[in-house]
Amino acid sequence: MPQLIIPKANEQQKALFAKFGLPLIETMEVDHFERKVANYLDAHNVLSLSTCRDNTPRCTTLEYFNNGLTVYLFSEGGGKIANLKANPAVSFTIHDPYDSGTDYFGASGLQVWGRASLFKRKDDPEQAALIQSYYRHSEGLKRQGLYEAIQALNFNVITIEPVKISYLDLRKGFRSFVWKKDASAEDEA
């Protein structure tokens, strides 16, 4: 059962948030938080994926798409695929541009820990088609004349199921809220 951990604001933090007119969320239902995170995922399409094999980390910037909290990636291959085959534990970040000189409280983003699975598109065409139905840019690829060429590729389909999510958006009152899929999420992350 998912749980949500909301950090308790101390008096200094409460005063700082009040001084700058920032909301301070102190309670929230898990499903409401999950919708906020899904909306954040829906509003973005690039993440930095961290994988690791033989104690050597790798971070790769990739386009993603999602269905709720589940994230999907298409990849032709590379070091990340070898890493995922050896170690399905992953982490990724998504963030908005940040300039503390313009808006100190404007930081927003997600850090997600999860478990990845992968398969080759042609090994399970029905599952690949279902996952591809969540992809937001098919029409754009068609307009560019790329859609058919991409369909011919036997790319890797990566699915990331989150086990832990940290969300920060100070302007909206989120101070590193942490969602865990279940009590064992700390061990998996």
**pLDDT per residue as tens digits for the range 34-63:** 999 999 999 999 999 999 999 999 999 999
Residue 57 domain flag: yes
CATH number at residue 86: 2.30.110.10
Q: Which residue has the tokens 């279902």?
A: 130
pLDDT tens profile 74-102: 998 899 999 999 999 999 999 999 999 99
Domain hosting 69: range is: 3-117+160-182
> CB–CB of 87/118 below 8 Å?
no
Residue 146 domain flag: no
38's tokens:
């899904």
Residue 17 domain flag: yes
Rounded CA gap, 108 and 56, in Å? Answer: 28
